[in-house]
Structure 1
Amino acid sequence: MLKVRSIMTPSPTTIGPNAKIWEAANTMLDHRISGLPVVDDAGRLLGIISESDFLQRGEIHTDARHGLWREFFSSRGRLAEEYARSFGNDVAEVMSSPAATIQPDASVETAAKLMAEKNVKRLPVVEGDEIIGIVTRFDIMAALVRDVTSYHAERADSDIRNALEAELARQKWGDSVNLRVADGVVTLEGRVLDLREKNAMQVAAENTAGVKRVDNRVQVVAPPDMPVPPPGFYL
């Protein structure tokens, strides 16, 4: 089972809680990342600030606007929190806290489910009190694509083998060969009495869809007391 440790980005870029939000924005732009773990001086995770935190800002009039009923039923504390997040200048005032985290030995499937449940795009990877990495939706997608590609590659090898075995079974000369297929490369092994049989096996393998290369190790051997005919002997 694929673990988070194997796909995470180790030693992620972080920022302190007292940094200004525009410092965080510049750091994200400089490193081409969309989120930053926020850590204290001891390296303990306090929260996370992401690109979405810059999309609802009072300065650009994208902060959340509430109707009368929402303001009436929302607690004073909740409204104050939203105001601070929209107009705050320090990372600590804007970050999401506590941040959803994951352990390095958790499965990739667990990370994907947690991201979906929490509706987040990234998870800090923590070991004890230390943040050792970060895993994103992109990392999970890339791992998924690799697994799917690997799976289909195995199926393709199986399909190639089945197709070639079926073709050789239809030929009278095709029953004296053993074959293997790995990553589209066909390996032929065995012994035949006639060079033409070896050549025909080569052609059959080369003409099988999906074959990238043929490693023909078939040996031409002579019966006792009969020399092997030289190439070109048969007309």
Structure 2
Amino acid sequence: MGIKSFQGKRDTSQAKEASQILVSDYMTTNLITFKAEDSLDHVIEQLITHKISGGPVVNDKNELIGIISETDCIKHISESKYYNMPTDINNTVGKYMVTDVDTIDKDMNVFDAAFKFISSHRRRFPVVENGKLIGQLSQKDVLKAAIKVDGNTWL
């Protein structure tokens, strides 16, 4: 004789409905941004001062036009400072920034964004709405979301 369960029929309506965790819940909105006409020396100072690895480049309408990173600044250093050449006044963000920028939507699930980080090898994604920069999601933001989420509620 086997053991019988006395739980009875399970009510499926009691199942807890998990809500999605969106990029907008974890993105940073107070961003350090740069302009195309900013000097790279200014960018380097800002990266060091604010302990960040890069930032979005916007125009006067706050539209995203590029990204500048530590790597882009290192290219500048290797081209001029390494050879002890005078600083060119044309060493601006616009000359060194990456203009082909991948963005993500604020309504994207954070864990879908995590897969995008893995496949693209990027450290940050700008969040754009109607052409305007509204925030940025970093890998660290995804980690913050993962810590707060119970493992079986991921969507």
Q: Fold conserved (TM > 0.5)?
A: yes
Q: Deviations over 1:151-175 (max 9, x none)?
A: 49xxxxxxxxxxxxxxxxxxxxxxx
- 1:119 deviates by 1.7
**Which ranges of structure 1 fall in alignment gaps of 5 or more residues?**
63-87, 153-235
- 1:123 corresponds, among 115, 122, 125, to 125
SS in 2 for 1:123: strand
The aligned counterpart of 2:96 is 94
Is 1:51 equivalent to 2:70 in the alignment? yes
Structure 1 CA distance for aligned equivalents of residues 81 and 120 of structure 2: 27
Pick one of 51, 56, 68 that aligns with 1:32.
51
What are structure 2's unaligned runs of at least 5 residues? 1-19, 84-89
Partner SS for 1:38:
strand
After TM superposition, the runs of 4+ consecutive aligned structure 1 residues lying more than 6 A away are none
SS of residue in 2 equivalent to 1:125: strand
CA shift for structure 1 position 32 = 1.9
Match of 1:139 in 2: 141
**Structure-to-structure mapping, 1:57-76, within 5 angstroms:** 57-61=78-82
- Normalising by structure 2, we get a TM-score of 0.73
Contact 1:121 1:136 in 2 (8 A): yes
TM-score normalized with structure 1 length: 0.49
| Larger strand proportion of the pair | 1
Counterparts of 1:8 and 1:31, CA distance in 2? 17
> Within 5 Å, which residues of 2 pair with 1:197-212?
none
Residue 61 of structure 1: how far off its partner (Å): 4.5
Q: Counterpart amino acid of 1:16?
A: K
How many corresponding residue pairs?
Answer: 125
Aligned CA-pair RMSD: 2.0
Letter in 1 for 2:72: D
